[in-house]
Copies of this chain bind each other. A is one copy, B any other.
Amino acid sequence: MRLILTALIATTALAGAAQADVLRDKALEYFAPLPSTVPAVKGNRITPEKIELGKALFFDPRLSASGVFSCYSCHNLTTGGDDNMETSVGHGWQKGPRNSPTVLNAVLNEAQFWDGRAEDLKAQAKGPVQAGVEMANTPEQVERTLRSMPQYVEWFSGAFPDEAEPTNFDNMAMAIEAFEATLITPAPFDAFLNGDDEALTAEQRAGLELFIDKGCSTCHSGVNVGGHGYYPFGLIEKPGADILPEGDKGRFAVTATVDDEYVFRAAPLRNVGVTAPYFHSGKVWDLKTAVTIMAESQLGETMTDEEVGHVVAFLDSLTGTMPTVTTPVLPPETASTPRPTAEVKVD
């Protein structure tokens, strides 16, 4: 009897391993594991000096006019690389128009922002610094601020050694991109793709299977399980204005093409389990609800509660391990550092 049982367990285990292999092969047609080294970035050679400078800048609230907000404020590294708000609060307590996306693994997205209007993170980084509802600063003021602190000037020289005047707004963005490129969070899903059968639970594997078979992976694919490609929100059935506000026409604002009305970049789904609320509007807090809405609006599918549960279990396997980040020690202001102002300018 014991022999038969052992043989049965061995057979089941073998069958399980074979099933895992089949699922892994299928998954590798859509997805790729995270790289084990800092990704190379087009037009920006990543060096330790740039990363360190970029970390300082990422944490520095003096990049904002008020001195209240840094990149870290809305891309909080303690809470999944985003804030936990519908849309972010910025200068003068103004509400931003869209939900803050996570900075984690963002370097691997095809383009940045919900509408893909920035080609990469060095282009993206310049946006919030200047946006009136976010950091409300100007490139000139940022440069005055950075140049007023000898330590920053030294760091910029070290990070951009071949430049005559390296302490500038463009290089600020390059350095921030370099730091952000280090924010890679390997997850159980990567371990599974890399060959570890046990990295996903049976429910998570079932969820992965559903995620592919139902068609989610048509858009949410690649190394970031999304983050590339543009699709109308409401491809099959347009959600209500409570979720898809009519005033925000998405990529239409970038391309001015009617076809791009309500078109957004497919959201990258790494760490989605810890980055509620969801969608560009930030109107949905529950991941099960978000999955249900996606299935209906994008696939015309009504998923059972059980199916949704499986998919959410799979999505939780995308929650990765944060890299260790130590808080930087920033240069102190000097007499010539512009003073912060909470004043809200009305154009």
Contact = CB atoms under 8 A, between A and B. Distances in A.
A276 interface: yes
A286 interface: yes
A219 to B, nearest CB: 24
Given A78-B330, A332-B274, A84 B67 contact: yes
Contact of A89 (B66, B335, B339): B66
A340 B60 contact: no
Q: Per DSSP, are chain A's interface residues mostly helix, strand or loop, or mixed?
A: loop
Given A85-B67, A93-B92, A326 B329 contact: no
Contacts of A157: none
A222 interface: no
A285 interface: yes
Contacts of A76: 61
Lowest 9 CB-CB distances: which A-B pairs, in order?
Answer: A93-B93, A274-B332, A78-B330, A59-B78, A325-B327, A77-B327, A68-B89, A322-B329, A326-B326
Given A59-B78, A61-B76, 16 more contacts: A60-B79, A61-B79, A66-B85, A67-B83, A68-B83, A77-B327, A78-B328, A79-B332, A85-B340, A93-B342, A273-B332, A276-B332, A276-B333, A325-B326, A325-B327, A326-B327
Interface of A: 56, 59-62, 66-68, 73, 76-80, 83-85, 89, 92-93, 95, 273-274, 276, 285-286, 322, 324-330, 332-333, 335, 339-340, 342, 344
20 contacts: A60-B79, A67-B85, A68-B83, A68-B85, A68-B89, A77-B327, A78-B328, A78-B330, A79-B332, A84-B333, A85-B340, A85-B342, A89-B342, A93-B93, A285-B335, A324-B326, A325-B326, A325-B327, A326-B326, A327-B327
